[in-house]
């Protein structure tokens, strides 16, 4: 089975690396050429945050979209802000029967994949695994937890081989049918953790060390739960706030994806997380002031990061032009 990872940052490299280690035919695709080159030259280094053990694996890596042609599975890990472009690009390299699986954060990615791959070619899932990008060719496995996957058209049997491959790679995996409930259950966790870690510049575990941050987490989660109740969503756990705190503890050493975006001056996925809560709440007439405040702060930070990127690019161009 050929499994291609579209977006091989921290999480994509973790899944792709472990699948390759388990004997699967894996291609890691990413636009970050230094990362791709490092993997092809020296392999992918996966550090276990709990033990410090480092595993070296040698999957194929490429910055050429053609490398994923004829994949049985495309696991999508690009930032949600680029899902539309990625889906349009990689649909051209899919074969009949290819399944595009989103394990991304946030709400809305499955709908984008459905438009391009159709319901019969789309799967959605959530994972509690955590990873941190350390540098080209190097990641840290920072948190472990179950992964749930589901076909958009309900043909769950088609995911059996993938689930077995993921299990063999060390990822606890469940094939489920309640995909919307799963996505919302993961969204609640993202809403309670990601933006705060990014704004404060801390790992997940630091959030539960202070009563003040726990109080803000509670506000964010409780506002989101009002939306969940109004939409008739059934979460996969009985006590959402307790789960959010528990995930923060279990992935304590992890740098959230949004914090990693901040550290690299990249646009965040806030509009697919807390911003999604705002959109859904507005349609239902539900006030979510704390989510609005946090989202506005992240959006300002995004603008500052984009300005910093532009300034850096201008300086680099000027420096290059000044060279003899």
Cβ distance 56 to 45 under 8 Å?
A: yes
Is the pLDDT reported for residue 310 higher than 80? yes
pLDDT of residue 257: 87
Residue 186 annotated in active site? yes
Q: From CA 5, how far away is CA 9, in angstroms rounded?
A: 10
DSSP three-state, residue 173:
strand
Range scoring the smallest mean pLDDT among 3-7, 48-52, 75-79, 175-179: 175-179
Count Cβ atoms within 10 A of the Cβ of residue 64 and give its class: 0-12 exposed, 13-18 middle, 19 or more buried: exposed
Choose the catalytic residue: 2, 33, 186, 250: 186
Residue 185 to residues 128, 205, 235, Cα–Cα distance (Å): 11, 20, 5
**Nearest residue to 206 via CA among 251, 266, 267:** 251
Is the pLDDT reported for residue 324 higher than 70? no
To the nearest whole percent, how much of the chain has pLDDT over 70? 99
Q: What is the mean pLDDT of residues 228-232?
A: 97
pLDDT digit string, tens, across residues 55-89: 999 999 999 999 999 999 999 999 999 999 999 99
DSSP three-state, residue 241:
helix
Place of tokens 């954060």: 105
pLDDT of residue 322: 67
pLDDT of residue 323: 66
Catalogue the long-range contacts made by 206-212 (C-beta closer than 8 Å, 24 or more residues apart): 206/252, 207/248, 208/245, 208/248, 208/249
Q: What is the mean pLDDT of residues 1-21?
A: 97
pLDDT of residue 142: 86
pLDDT digit string, tens, across residues 114-172: 999 999 999 999 998 989 899 999 999 988 889 999 999 999 999 999 999 999 999 99
For each of the domains in the chain, give its residue range(s) and CATH number, in order of start. Answer: 2-177 (3.40.50.720), 181-309 (1.10.1040.10)
Helices (H), 103-239: 109-117, 160-168, 179-200, 211-231
Q: From CA 276, how far away is CA 280, in angstroms rounded?
A: 6
pLDDT digit string, tens, across residues 242-264: 999 999 998 898 889 899 899 98
pTM for the structure as a whole: 0.83
Is the pLDDT reported for residue 92 higher than 90? yes
Binned at pLDDT 50, 70 and 90, residue 48 comes out as: very high
Place of tokens 């921290």: 10
pLDDT digit string, tens, across residues 296-307: 999 999 999 999
pLDDT of residue 130: 87
174: which strand partners? 148
Cβ distance 99 to 122 under 8 Å?
A: yes
């Amino acid at each position: 089975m050929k499994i291609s990872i579209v977006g091989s940052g921290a999480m994509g490299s973790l899944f792709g690396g472990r699948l390759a280690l388990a004997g699967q035919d894996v291609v890691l695709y990413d636009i970050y050429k230094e990362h791709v080159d490092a993997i092809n030259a020296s392999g992918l280094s996966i550090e276990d945050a709990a033990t410090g053990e480092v595993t070296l694996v040698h999957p194929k890596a490429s910055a050429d979209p053609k490398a994923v042609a004829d994949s049985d599975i495309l696991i999508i890990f690009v930032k949600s802000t680029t899902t539309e472009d990625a889906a349009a690009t990689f649909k051209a390299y899919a074969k009949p029967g290819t399944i595009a699986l989103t394990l991304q954060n946030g709400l809305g990615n499955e709908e984008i994949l459905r438009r391009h791959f159709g319901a019969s070619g789309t799967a959605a899932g959530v994972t509690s695994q955590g990873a941190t990008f350390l540098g080209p060719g190097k990641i840290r496995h920072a948190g472990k937890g179950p992964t749930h996957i589901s076909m958009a058209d309900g043909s769950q049997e088609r995911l059996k081989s993938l689930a077995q491959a993921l299990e063999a790679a060390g990822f606890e995996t469940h094939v489920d049918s309640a995909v919307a409930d799963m996505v919302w259950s993961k969204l609640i966790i993202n809403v309670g953790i990601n933006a705060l870690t990014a704004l404060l510049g801390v790992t997940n575990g630091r959030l539960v060390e202070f009563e003040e941050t726990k109080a803000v987490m509670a506000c964010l989660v409780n506002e989101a739960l009002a939306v969940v109740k109004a939409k008739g969503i059934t979460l996969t756990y009985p006590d959402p706030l307790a789960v959010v705190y528990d995930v923060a503890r279990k992935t304590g050493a992890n740098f959230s994806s949004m914090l990693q975006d901040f550290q690299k001056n990249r646009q965040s996925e806030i509009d697919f997380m807390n911003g999604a809560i705002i959109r859904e709440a507005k349609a239902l007439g539900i006030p979510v002031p704390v989510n609005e405040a946090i989202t506005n702060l992240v959006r300002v930070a995004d603008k500052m990061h984009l300005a910093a990127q532009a300034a850096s690019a201008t300086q680099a161009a000027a420096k290059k032009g000044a060279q003899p």
